[in-house]
Amino acid sequence: MDKFWWHAAWGLCLVPLSLAQIDLNITCRFAGVFHVEKNGRYSISRTEAADLCKAFNSTLPTMAQMEKALSIGFETCSST
């Protein structure tokens, strides 16, 4: 059982290290909603997005939160 907990603790330590090695780009924040890019645009799966939110101590936004952010200027389109 001790071996299980040691492996579990080691795995939890590796999560922040693996996130640190990924090229993340947070471009803007509006009303608590932010856009994260990983190694280029549109390359994050929903599961990865949820994991990143946990790492940033946040959650995926609700539709109401997205609508509020959009109404005050949040944009995800890029001219590049």
Taking only the tens place, the pLDDT of each residue in 16-36 is 545 555 566 666 777 878 877
Check residue 17 and give its pLDDT. 44
Among 44, 50, 40, 51, which Cα is nearest to 78's?
A: 40
Q: 8 in a domain, yes or no?
A: no
Which distant-in-sequence residues (6+ apart) come within 8 Å of 74 by Cβ? 28, 30, 31, 33, 35, 66
Structural domain total, the chain: 1
Whether residue 30 is contained in a domain is answered as yes
pLDDT on residue 56: 84
Decide if 65 contacts 33 (C-beta within 8 A).
yes
Copy the structure tokens of residue 71.
């109404």
Low-confidence ranges of the chain (pLDDT < 50): 4-15, 17
- The verdict on residue 5 lying in a domain is no
Q: What is the pLDDT of residue 31?
A: 81
Range of the domain at 57: 24-80
The confidence score (pLDDT) of residue 14 equals 44
- pTM summary value: 0.55
57 domain residue, yes or no: yes
